[in-house]
Amino acid sequence: MTGKVLLNAELDAYLPLVARGKVRNIYEVDNATILLVTTDRISAFDTVMSNGIPDKGRLLTLLTVYWLRLLSAAIPGLRTHLITLNLPREIPPDHEVKGLRDQYVNRSMQVQKLEPFKIEAIVRGYITGSAWKSYQEHGTVCGIKIDPGLRESEAFPGGPVYTPSTKAEQGVHDDNIHPDKAEEIVGAKYAARIEELALACYKYAADYALKKGGIIIADTKFEFGLDARTDEVVLIDEVLTPDSSRFWLADVYRIGETPPSFDKQYLRDWLTSQGLKSKPGVEMPDEIIVKTGEKYREAFNRITGADWETGDMTID
């Protein structure tokens, strides 16, 4: 199942553009609904590459919907913003604008319009990345004291750790913060609920991915919004994808090493080796596009039970 690369969503003639992010465009459908369109753009080190990964947007969208449906059924009281994968009627059919809708099928979600909380809810099950660096230097992760003696990539002995971050404007790096700071930003009531839901989602997903696909979810980022009508905290945005998570293959996982990831690490490593880290307008060579796409597709197939390559998108 391989398609053309969609770098720019061009629906402005049919729906008002609300925002354009590094990967997604957001359009207003009506007063209560927005359309999230995931392009095939890819970013690393807060910079968008000039070319993209074929079908990446569809893969991220379908994997997000898979998780949203799974989590909402499994976790009591969890609400998600998902309404439908169907395109809104404002996007004209093929007999009016040939091929337009085909470009956006399965890469677009109609979701509830909610007020996003200004934090990102990061949950870490294993000590790696910036958490490992902080632990080596200070014995803490986001200001949280961690037991001594851990090795790189080891599971946190007390279970997953909630380590929120600020939600910066595009092009500005998010800052890891202590949960107490998150409480100052969003308020005690909402901070507690966000932490509760983020940990519950991570624990369920980590167990599911390991048992079904042999994938370790080392860490992941969730986002939540507020439904002001009901005063509920709602799970929003992309969920448990290779863009928002660090996936490891359980078969090759070793404590004390950095396992290969099913995410953008292949691209990050290439950018770093070429001296291109954080530089704008970088064009990826074919090898990087192919290898990165392969990582994304393998993660999708392992988690969902579908087969992206053959086009068998029957999800277990």
What pLDDT, in 10s, does the model give residues 131-177?
Answer: 999 999 999 999 999 999 999 999 999 999 999 999 866 555 678 99
% helix, strand, coil for the chain, step of 5: 30, 25, 45
pLDDT above 90 as % of the chain: 85
The pLDDT of residue 46 is: 85
* Count of positions (residues) in the chain: 316
- Residue 223: pLDDT above 80? yes
Where residue 316 falls among pLDDT bands split at 50, 70, 90?
Answer: very low
Cβ neighbours, 10 Å, residue 144:
16
Q: Do 136 and 143 contact (CB within 8 A), yes or no?
A: no
The pLDDT of residue 174 is: 77
pLDDT, tens digit, for every residue of 256-282? 999 988 778 889 889 999 999 999 999
Among the listed residues 35, 63, 15, 52, the one whose alpha carbon sits nearest the alpha carbon of residue 299: 63
CA distances from 82 to 118, 155, 157, 249 (A): 20, 32, 34, 29
Where residue 315 falls among pLDDT bands split at 50, 70, 90?
Answer: low
The pLDDT of residue 226 is: 98
- Residue 191: pLDDT above 50? yes
pLDDT, tens digit, for every residue of 17-67? 999 999 999 999 999 999 999 999 999 988 999 999 999 999 999 999 999
pLDDT, tens digit, for every residue of 97-118? 888 999 999 999 999 999 999 9
Alpha carbon distance 127, 151 (integer Å)? 8
Alpha carbon distance 237, 64 (integer Å)? 8
Where residue 4 falls among pLDDT bands split at 50, 70, 90?
Answer: confident
The pLDDT of residue 156 is: 97
Summary mean pLDDT of the chain: 93
Please give the structure tokens belonging to residue 304.
């969902």
- Residue 209: pLDDT above 90? yes
Please give the structure tokens belonging to residue 162.
């909630």
- Residue 1: pLDDT above 50? no
**Averaged pLDDT for residues 75-96:** 94
Element holding 210 (H helix, E strand): helix 188-213
